[in-house]
Each structure stands twice: as C-alpha cells, then as structure tokens.
Amino acid sequence: MFGFSIATVYLLVGGLVFLLGFLILREAPREKANRATALMLSFGGLGSVLGAIGFILERAVEAPRAGTTDVLRSFNYLWEFFFPSLLYFACVFPAENRLVRRLPFAAVWIFAPHAFHLLLMVIQTQGALIGRVTAAIAQNPVGATLVHAGRLPMALLFGFHVILFSAVNLLYIAAALTLLWVSYRGATNTRIRSQLRTIFIGLASCAGLYAVAVPIPTLLNHTWPSLTRSTLIVAALVLGSGGIAYSMVRYRFLDAKLIARKTILYAVTSAFLLGVYLTIIRQLDAFVESVAGVDVTVFETAVLLIALVLFQPVVSWLEEALENVFLRERSDHRTLLRRMSGEVLTVLDLSALADTVLETLREGVPARTTVLLVAPQGRATLARGFGGNVDLNAIAAVPRDVLDRMTGGLSLVRREDLRDLAAEPGVAEAAEPLLRTKPYLLLPLRHAGQFLGVISLGRKITETRYNAEEISLLQTLANQTSVALKNALLYEENLAKSLLEEELQVARRIQQQFLPSRLPEMARFGIAAMNVPNKQVGGDYYDIVDLGSGNYLVTIADVAGKGVPAALLASMVQASVRTQAQDGKPVREMMNRLNRLVHDATPDDRFATCFLARVSADGLNVSFTNAGHNYPILKPAEGRSRLLHEGGIPLGIQPDFPYSEAVTPLERGDALILYTDGITDARNRALEDYGEDRLFRLVDELPRDLSARQLMDAIAFDLSRFTEGAEQADDITLVALKAL
C-alpha cells in the first residue's frame, strides 16, 4: 500500500509538471523560451512518471517479465534531457545569448551529448541482440579481428560512460545557473528580475537535489536506496517546476495569460485535495479494515460523497486564497488597470501625469524602449521615456502633424504597418528621432478625434511577441491616458480662466479706486460722469481735480489694452495728473511731461489717449490739450454744436512730441461732452457701430435747457436703445460739463 501511494504521488507530480509544460507551450508555441521551458518540464515530468512505473514494477509485480526492467532503465535515461533543456532555456531567456544566436544549430549541439548517451544506454540494454550481431560479424577473419580489437574499447566506453556523463550533467547545471545569474545581474526591468530570481532559486534547488541524488553518488561510487534516490529526484522536480509555476502566476513569466495562471492554481488545489485523499483517507481505510476486520466499501462511498459535496467550496476557497496572494501583484494587468483608474485619472498636472503613465508602462510591459509623447494642440510637446536610442529632446521636436500622420487614424500601429506610414513624403525625415528607437507598437492618444500624443513601445526584453492580453491592456491604458490628458488640459484651462478672473477682479478694484468717489460741488458749473466697465477691464479713466479759486482740472483718458496692465497704466496717468495739477503749469506742459513718463515706463506697444482741460470760473474759459483722444463736443446755448479738433498724437509714442494748447470760452448754458471710444465703437446685434456722427447728431438735437445729468442720461439711454442688449466690447466713460 505504501509503495502504491508513493507511485501515485510520483504520477501526480509528473502529471502536473506535464500540464505546466503544455500550458507554457500553448501560450506561445513559436517562442524559443516557451519551447525550451516546455521541453525542460516535459522531460522532468517524464522522470517522475518513470519513477512511478519503476515502483509499480518493483513492488506491485512479484515477477516482472524478463527484459522489462532493462527497457524501463533505457527509457529512464530519456528524462535526463531535462539538463540540456535547462541549459538551452538559460541561453534564450530573457534574451537569446549572442553566442547561441551566431552558432549554427546551437540547440542541436546542446542536446547532442545526451542523445549519444541515450543511444549508448539503449544499446547496452540489448545484450542478446548485440551478441547475435557480434557473432555474425565474427564469422569471417576480418570481422573477428575487428570484434576482438573493439571489445576492450567498448567495454571501457560502457564502463566509464555513466560516471563521465554524471560529470556532464553537473557541468550543464553549472553552466545554466551561471547564465541565469548573469542575466539576473544584467536585467534592469523589475518584473524580469523578479522572474529570474524566482526561477534561479527553484532551478538551483532542483539541480542541487539532483546532484545529491545521482551525479555525486555516481562519481563517488555510492548508491542511494531506490526510495531515497527517487524521492530526491521527485523533490528536485517539484522545486524546479514549482519555481517556474510561481514565477508564471506571480510575475507573469513568459507573459502567461490569466487563464493559464488560474489553471495552475486550480491544478495545485486539485492536487492538494487528491493528495489528502490518498495519504489520509486511503490509509484510514486500510487501518480500519485491518483493526476491525470489516469491509470499508460503504465507508469509502460515504467519504467520496462527502468529498464531492465539499470539493467545490473547498476548491473555491483555496482558489480565492491563492488568487489573493499571487494574482494581486503590482504588475498584474488587472491591478495596473485599477491603479490607472484610481491614480492616473485624478492627476491634473501634465508633467506628473506623464511620469505616472511612464511608470505604469514600465511595470506593465517589459519593453526595451518606451516613449510617451504628449503633444496637444497649441502647447509645447512633453516627452518622457527610457531605453536605447531615446533622445527625449529630439523626440519632443518631432512635429505634431507628423505624429498624427504616422498613426494614420488607427488605434494601434504595429511595426509592419509603421513602415508604410513612415514611407509617406517627409514623414521619415521629420520622425527620425522617434523611428531611431525602433518602435514595435505605436498607440495614438486621441480624445473625441483630437490628437493628444502617442505611446511608442519597442520589442520586449524577452524578444517575445505582444500577446492579445497585453495589447488589450495597452489600448485600455492609452484610452485612459487620453481621458486623463484631456482632463488635465481642461483643468489647466479652467485654472487659467480662474486666474484671469482673479486678475480682472484686481483690475476692477484698481480702476474703481482711481475713479472719483464723488464729484466736486462747482458753483458755476454743473457736472455729471459715468463709467461702465467692460467684463475685461480696460483703462478708461476720468477725474475732476479742484484747483481752488473756482478752477478745476478735468481729465479723461483711455489706455490701450485690457486687464491689470491697462488699469495700472491708467492709475499711473491719474497719479501724474494729480501730482502736476497743483503746480499751476499750462496744460500743454502737463501733457508733455505725462507723454515722456508713459513712454519711459511702458513697452513700445503700450500707449494711452488723454484729454486735459482747465476750467476757469473767472470768465468761464476752458484751456485744453488733446493727446489722440476722441474730440469733445461743445454744445452752445445758441447755434450748432461743434467738435474741439485741436490735438496731437497719443501718449507714449514719441517722447519729445510738442503738444499744443487751445482756449475756448464757455457762455451761460454751453455744455461740453467728453467721452471714450467705448461709446462710439459700441455695436448692436447687427454688428453696426454707434459712431461719432450719431453721437454728434444726438447731442446737437438735444434740448438746450437740459442739465449735465440730463444730458448724460439722454446719451446713455440712446446708446442702450441702439445696442439692444448686445455684449459690451469696451469700457464706457462719459463726462458732461455745463456752464450755469
């Protein structure tokens, strides 16, 4: 019974190892690493199966037929092809060794010694056949001489071959582990390093146990008991295949798909339950039968029924537990997608977003080169990447329209498609820095048809193809990255808009501060003023300064531009006017000094228009100067209105421009209308300008007895009726002055 249990365990181990090899080969049968791993596991599983057959023949069969053991021993050497498979695997993973790539038929040379070894062992077991062949050859003198001469060399060859071949196996083991260790030390990708570390530990343990079981005792002329030797070999196989299976499940070794990894977990779970049945239930049956002397068939049936009921829940529980431990690794595809949804979509800074996406790609796909190019319309290109021939500055200079043409409106561009797209006129030259990285896959980043950038991936470090699961992952990552990029761009636009609104609020406060809080009480003049700021704050400004003795300085100005810069320049004009107001200088000198100040304090594209007038109660005179401002309208108490045409160029254009000064009397009932171009340039819904002519006719036709306030209200009403609620394009400023 014990021998039968051991044989069952060996068969179970061999079956699981065979299953693992089949799964790996099915994943990518054309890849060298997959073929090498499948061969290694297949020959290892064969060793366990042959060990089980040996136990059955030795213990379960009392008198095996003649020759059966010899045949079994012949095939037993077949499983030692595990070691050339191990060396071949170390030569092609994670990348094919340069020596193996250059050596013709490298795999054949690696397997040749073991093929020769198997041939010799098969010949050695066929003693009767060899005797008959030898006797036939020795029937003539020449043949007899050859047989006699070759007897000793053949005897020595067969005698020392087993011992020498144990040393060959040890040499293969040492060479394979050395290559794996060198690959581990040279690997830069985190997932590849984890795979190599796990496989190296498993195969090193496997090789160590095998060396203790077979080659070392053979070299020392020592023989283990059959059970001990077989147990060591099976344990070696379990450790070696277990390291590979763990690496597949945990680190996606050989790019194992999720279904393959779950199959491994299901097989391990099923084997565990079967092992419990064989090692506990069967032994318990034998114990009950020997002690009680009763038939345990009913008892076995009950146990099987209970096992069937419990099998699925136990399997589900074990699968869930193993999945929680093994399938939630950071580089697992599902984990990456969850992280992508939880992290990338909430990153609103473009630079931080690019770094996060690049790190996700580094963990998810072991590519030799990875480039992320963010190139939204109207913004500087942002490049991130790593690997050989990746010149980020040169790649960032690739024109956006060239990248868009290269992708050809596709959601995924493979290497073979890229050749045709890059062959278009001007594309290959412009995109040369990106093409120099040897892209294998290009994933355009688009949102609502808008091209935002591209992800470029080179060949994988393992030189295997991108499987369907990885391509699906990459396309999902590209889609989520596109959404995240659009969110980040919208956030930046909203942030810029918020900053602009804040700037406008500051400008409005500045503007309101330098406008008069209340108009002075003038004994011989009536005055009214209004200022309606636009949403985008401009630089309209007006002021009335009391100079004493019934004299006043009236100012109206319009600074070119919008926002805080225009408001600050207007405040500078106000400060300069108020500073000079008490000096008693003529208004032309005030304008000359103001012109030089504006010129020296502002860039060339900044200027302002300004009208200065000193109103004197003595004699009701107005002395004025005009720096490119809208001509004021003088409405006399009697007669037609007229424009005050005198003036010069705007402030800040020519620093030494000499401004002139004019004087006009004001009779009782005369009115002076000052305004900015916010009135004359106002448009209605038909996009028609209000215009200076309409304003002039309106002022001229208004009744002569209207006060300054009534004049201002009449103009404002007519302007409102004309625009019909159309959006205001500029600040509106109006000052009405009337002699009493």
Partners of residue 556 on adjacent β-strands: 542, 611
Burial class (CB in 10 A: 0-12, 13-18, 19+), 126: middle
- Which helix (H) or strand (E) segment holds residue 539: the answer is strand 539-548
Q: Are residues 580 and 673 in the same domain?
A: yes
Long-range contacts of 496-504 (CB under 8 A, 24+ apart): 500/563, 503/563, 503/564, 504/535, 504/536, 504/537, 504/563, 504/564
Which CATH number does the domain housing residue 241 bear?
1.20.1070
Supply the pLDDT for residue 610.
93
- Whether residue 582 lies inside any domain: the answer is yes
* Amino acid found at 303: V
* Amino acid found at 269: T
What angle is formed at CA 202 by the lines to CA 200 and CA 203, rounded to 5 degrees?
A: 65
- Whether residue 285 lies inside any domain: the answer is yes
Distance CA 40, CA 457 (A): 31
Identify the sign of the CA torsion 234, 237, 239, 241.
negative
Q: Are residues 313 and 390 in the same domain?
A: no
Distance CA 223, CA 213 (A): 9
Range list of β-strands (E), 396-505:
413-414, 441-447, 450-457
- Whether residue 497 lies inside any domain: the answer is no
Q: Are 507 and 537 a contacting pair, CB within 8 Å? A: yes
Distance CA 45, CA 237 (A): 7
Strands 413-414 and 382-386: unpaired
Phi-psi region of 528 (alpha: psi -120 to 50; beta: other; left: phi over 0): beta
Q: CA 242, 245, 250, 251: dihedral to nearest 10 degrees?
A: 110
Q: Are residues 441 and 298 in the same domain?
A: no
Q: Are residues 472 and 520 in the same domain?
A: no
**94 preceded by a cis bond (ω within 30 of 0):** yes
Q: Are residues 528 and 405 in the same domain?
A: no
Q: What does residue 331 show for φ and ψ, rounded to 5 degrees?
A: -90, 0
Domain count, the chain: 4
Contacts of 242 (CB under 8 A, 6+ apart): 202
Residue 63 is classified by DSSP as S
Q: Are residues 530 and 652 in the same domain?
A: yes
The reply to whether the predicted model has a pTM over 0.85 is: no
Supply the pLDDT for residue 147.
57
Q: Are residues 621 and 712 in the same domain?
A: yes
* Amino acid found at 196: L
Which of 256, 275, 309 marks a domain boundary? 256
Which of 440, 475, 491 marks a domain boundary? 491
Q: Are residues 295 and 364 in the same domain?
A: no
**First and final CA of the chain: distance in angstroms?**
131
Which CATH number does the domain housing residue 656 bear?
3.60.40.10
Distance CA 300, CA 311 (A): 16
Helices (H), 28-92: 32-55, 68-76, 82-92
Distance CA 411, CA 471 (A): 11
Distance CA 154, CA 539 (A): 111
- Whether residue 505 lies inside any domain: the answer is no
Distance CA 258, CA 248 (A): 10
Residue 215: Cβ within 10 Å count: 22
Supply the pLDDT for residue 555.
92
- Which helix (H) or strand (E) segment holds residue 611: the answer is strand 608-616
Q: Are 344 and 484 a contacting pair, CB within 8 Å? A: yes
Q: Are residues 10 and 64 in the same domain?
A: yes
Q: Are 602 and 595 a contacting pair, CB within 8 Å? A: no
Q: Are residues 121 and 162 in the same domain?
A: yes
Partners of residue 625 on adjacent β-strands: 612
For residue 82, which of 58, 111, 62 has the smallest C-alpha distance?
111
- Whether residue 507 lies inside any domain: the answer is no
Which CATH number does the domain housing residue 394 bear?
3.30.450.40
- Whether residue 500 lies inside any domain: the answer is no
Report how far apart, in Å, the C-alpha atoms of 482 and of each of 445, 476, 485, 503, 597 are: 5, 10, 5, 31, 51
Helix (H, G, I), strand (E, B), or coil: what is residue 382?
Answer: strand
Q: Are residues 188 and 312 in the same domain?
A: no
Supply the pLDDT for residue 209.
86
Q: Are residues 207 and 305 in the same domain?
A: no
Q: Write the DSSP assignment of 244-309 as a string of letters.
A: HHHHHHHH-GGG--HHHHHHHHHHHHHHHHHHHIIIIIHHHHHHHHHHH----HHHHHHHHHHHHH
Q: Which residues of the chain have pLDDT under 70?
A: 1-7, 9, 27, 51-52, 54-77, 123-139, 142-164, 249, 255-346, 500, 503-504, 507-508, 510-514, 535-538, 563, 619
Which of 230, 256, 282 marks a domain boundary? 256
Angle between the N-to-C axes of helices 141-186 and 106-125, in degrees from 0 to 180, rounded to the nearest 10: 140
- Whether residue 598 lies inside any domain: the answer is yes
Please give the residue range of the domain that contains residue 239.
2-256
* Amino acid found at 611: F
Q: Are 202 and 243 a contacting pair, CB within 8 Å? A: yes
- Whether residue 498 lies inside any domain: the answer is no
